[in-house]
Amino acid sequence: MNCSSENNEEIAQLVSEAESSLLPVKSRAKYEKSYQLFCHWRNEKDVQGASEDILIAYFCEKVKILKASTLWSLYSMVKSTLQINENVDISAYKKLLAYLKRQNDNYLANTLYNYKPFNLVPYGHSCWMRAWFLFYNKLNDVILLADIFENFKDRCLKTYGLDPAHYHTPPGYIWDCMLKLWSAIG
């Protein structure tokens, strides 16, 4: 009997070591903090377990203060810690996933706001039209320059057999072209 109790303690220790390695090492503190915040929220609301309705209510409160991308990070951390600590798999909660995806639909990253006309409407119609016109011209210039460089590279490869992309400065490239031409002539 004593032997089996020692084995049980040894197995329990091995299991706890394995469970501690399930979370990422660098962000372990964030995972544990997100789980503690969820547990604290459950205690405040006086609810037990981690049912789908409880998690939807939790994320409903978090939607008010977090961006969509942060919400998904929180979901991932809570999902992992609930799986480890309470053996609950919330990835099967379809309503919760649908709710989080719906929150993501209304979210636009800050970089997407740079050239949106509705951000410029308060300044007048001509302002956002001008912004779109300037943006289009910059984009068009970049595309034309890329096309010119591509044609230049193709012509240089065909004429001299040299790739201008492999040279740091134009004089070095011109020197090699000159040597190539003189060796072909002479």
pTM across the whole model: 0.53
Q: What per-residue confidence (pLDDT) applies to 131? A: 78
Q: Mean pLDDT throughout 160-183? A: 88
Q: What per-residue confidence (pLDDT) applies to 1? A: 46
Domain positions in the chain are: 28-107, 113-185
Question: From CA 40, how far away is CA 25, in angstroms rounded?
Answer: 23
Q: Smallest Cα–Cα separation from 60: which of 41, 79, 83, 34?
A: 41
Q: What per-residue confidence (pLDDT) applies to 4? A: 58
Q: How far is CA 88 from the centre of its chain?
A: 26
Tokens coding 3: 């032997």
What is the three-class DSSP state of 51? coil
The one-letter amino acid code at 24 reads: P
Q: Mean pLDDT throughout 98-120? A: 63
pLDDT digit string, tens, across residues 111-163: 555 555 555 455 555 666 777 788 888 888 888 888 898 998 999 899 888 88
Residue 86 scores a pLDDT above 50? yes
Question: From CA 22, how far away is CA 33, in angstroms rounded?
Answer: 15
Task: Give the orientation angle of helix 52-63 with respect to helix 94-105, to 10 degrees.
Answer: 20
Tokens coding 52: 């789908």
Cα–Cα separations (whole angstroms), residue 105 to 54, 60, 136, 174? 22, 15, 27, 54
Q: Mean pLDDT throughout 90-111? A: 77
